[in-house]
Amino acid sequence: MSIPCSIGLLPNKPPTDVGSLIEKADLDGHDFVVVPIANPSFRRVLNENNEMSPEEHAVWKDRPVFDRKDLILNSAEWSGKVLGLFSDWIQLDSPNHNIRTCSELALKQEAEWASHINLTGIIFPVLDKQVHNTARVINSISTTISPQICIRVPLLQKGAVEDNMTWKTWNRLRTLLGHSNTKVGVALELTSELPSDERLLDMWLAEPVRTLIIPAHVFVSNAKGHPVLTKPHQNFVKKLIHKLEPDIIIHPPSVELYPSATDASFSQYIQYLYRHLPEPDEIEKFASGYFDSLQMPLQPLADNLENQTYEIFEKDPIKYQQYERAVYQALLDRVEYQSDVVTTIMVVGAGRGPLVNCCLRAAEHSLRKVHIIALEKNPNAYVTLQNAKANVWGDKVTLVFADMRKWKPKEKCDILVSELLGSFGDNELSPECLDGAQKFLKDDGISIPTSYTASIAPLASSRLYNNVNAYKSLSSFETPYVVMFRQVCSLADPEDLWTFEHPNKKDIPTDENPVNNLHNERYSRADFIIQHDMIMHGIAGYFDCSLYKDITISINPETHSPGMFSWFPIFFPVHQPIQITKESMVSIHFWRLTDQQKVWYEWSVAVNNKEGEETYVSSLHNPGGRSYYVGL
């Protein structure tokens, strides 16, 4: 099994021979080396007091070309094996005008040279507290050079175990650059201490961490004298490798500290950590290639699903196992065993027949006689049902080609079964469909499912934000997407919004269709206390469903059905990333609205600080369904 990220070596001192360094690093199992672009002597324009003479300042105005001896990387020969380092003396926000000017000119010159020799990336030194001029300069060069720029960000500020001050500094720079500047990422540097609050670690999963630097002082010695990481450090590194797949940069300890260690032992150690990553579960195997990919929600009422779509979701072992359990229990509750009693089950939205098979298996296990009516409006799926009836089901199943909202049956059923749920529960119009179908059900009949609840949570993910922003339109930020989350951080646990129950005898007259759809409108507000400073990029949506009694299916993280992969969560973006301070309350307002032709969602966000003062309110997203709706 190959490691998904490259392993690099950051030497303790600048090399005198880059070619020899690369050759040795390669033998030691490193994929690349990290080397300063310029020699420390390139700082020639500043004297010992960090000052510049008028003569030197005049020379620098003309941007002198590099002298060959100024450069460590003086050739494009090694570009495929090297990551560059900007000079660490650069201070773009220095209060000294001469230092700022010198730093800016030097940075631009080094960046242009790195681009010229085709480096893929450059690491910028650790930021000062002031970053406004740094942001201006980085923004100006990031649009003109080819390498990616990674800002070196320590995980924690020295002595501040529970503070995320380094994240705040990075976030200030990122905000000044603009959240859509994808040329600038993070080179996250491990520190000896880790925050005890795991949320301060998980927040980095939502950031563009492209490299992880593991410096010498983080390593400890094991019983055999070899350098290793502590268990908490190991767990964090493995989580980053699993979720973000960053390049790993090893800054090895000195020989005096670990006399038995070699450069090879560090790359071998990272490979050891990778080999001990948890095996992917069924959901991760199914979602491979789909992580953080934006997909439009299905509209099976308006569109006929393709055969491949049915085939993919029929592979879910958990969903149909739970449906079979629900039908089995409903059959036991519906009627005592009698050899001459036949229970009528109606499967609406039968697709290619997986629910029909569930019902037949449940009947066999419960020793109950059943007759199944399978209703489907997709003409292509209906052919598959005909084949199954002819070859497998026979007279046990009656097929009906019709829209469940309009068909009028000759007889009513004992159990009504459907699988019309979307990632948000009701977003594929299950309420509207079952409103029309419940007239098929006897007065004391059982609906499977009986209820489902939509829930939401505020979410951070720079990757998802930039994926949405790539569409360059307002409508893209007012459209929900089905997404298998990976590079995300939930800012709080999900809260429930609303619930739909079936059959709905309260709002729909017996044996009739609903007068209108207003009873399926919803409004709810969910409040979340955010425990640390963070950026909110959108809203995660989930559902949990009671099929029958205590038999459930759920994609809510707190109650997720293990191994079930039929549904990914849903993601509602926000127009602009929202800055949230520690202990603020995020209030998310959500509407499910309808007219005669469509159903749509609207959402807005408000933030109150810990003193209760409103610090932010968003505009309303998707008013009137202008960007996204589900057709009735």
Query: Which tokens hold the place of 242?
Result: 């699993």
Q: Report the CATH number of the 307-419 domain.
A: 3.40.50.150
Give the per-residue pLDDT at 336: 77
Please tell me the distance from the alpha carbon of residue 88 to that of residue 94, in angstroms, as a whole number: 13
Is 310 annotated to bind a ligand? Reply is yes
Query: Which residue spans of the chain are classified as CATH 2.70.160.11?
Result: 453-631
- CB under 8 Å to 425, separation ≥6 — which residues? 452, 453, 454, 500, 543, 545
Is 320 annotated to bind a ligand? Reply is yes
Please tell me the distance from the alpha carbon of residue 290 to that of residue 286, in angstroms, as a whole number: 9
- The answer to whether the CB of 184 falls within 8 A of the CB of 135 is no
Give the per-residue pLDDT at 77: 86
In the residue annotation, 112 being an active-site residue is answered as no
Please tell me the distance from the alpha carbon of residue 96 to that of residue 104, in angstroms, as a whole number: 12
Residue with tokens 């309260």: 506
Please tell me the distance from the alpha carbon of residue 479 to that of residue 623, in angstroms, as a whole number: 11
In the residue annotation, 419 being an active-site residue is answered as yes
**Which CATH number does the domain 7-278 belong to among 3.20.20.150, 3.40.605.10, 3.55.50.30, 3.40.50.2000?**
3.20.20.150
pLDDT in tens, 85-140: 999 999 999 998 888 888 898 899 999 999 999 999 999 999 998 999 999 999 99
Q: Which of 428, 432, 478, 602 is catalytic?
A: 428
Inter-CA distances, 79 with 39, 83, 116, 148, 315, Å: 17, 8, 10, 14, 46
Bridge partners of 522, per DSSP, are 592
Helix axis angle, 132-142 to 97-116, nearest 10°: 20
Is 376 annotated to bind a ligand? Reply is yes
Q: Which pTM does this prediction carry?
A: 0.92
Please tell me the distance from the alpha carbon of residue 354 to that of residue 364, in angstroms, as a whole number: 16
pLDDT along the chain (632 residues), means of 10: 76 86 88 90 58 56 67 85 93 90 90 93 94 96 93 86 85 95 95 89 96 89 82 94 93 66 80 86 82 89 81 89 97 81 94 96 95 95 95 95 88 95 96 93 95 98 96 96 96 98 90 88 98 96 97 97 93 97 97 95 97 96 97 90
Please tell me the distance from the alpha carbon of residue 30 to that of residue 250, in angstroms, as a whole number: 9
Give the per-residue pLDDT at 1: 43
Residue whose C-alpha is closest to residue 571's, from 540, 532, 599, 545:
540
Q: Report the CATH number of the 453-631 domain.
A: 2.70.160.11
- The answer to whether the CB of 465 falls within 8 A of the CB of 577 is yes
Query: Which residue spans of the chain are classified as CATH 3.40.50.150?
Result: 307-419
In the three-class reduction of DSSP (H, G, I as helix; E, B as strand; rest coil), residue 85 is classed as strand
Is 585 annotated to bind a ligand? Reply is no
Sequence letter at residue 581: T
Give the per-residue pLDDT at 39: 86
Query: Which tokens hold the place of 601?
Result: 């969602």
Helix axis angle, 263-275 to 18-27, nearest 10°: 50
Give the per-residue pLDDT at 244: 94
- CB under 8 Å to 387, separation ≥6 — which residues? none
Q: How many CB atoms lie within 10 A of CB 132?
A: 11
Q: Which of 104, 189, 324, 419 is catalytic?
A: 419
Query: Which residue spans of the chain are classified as CATH 3.20.20.150?
Result: 7-278
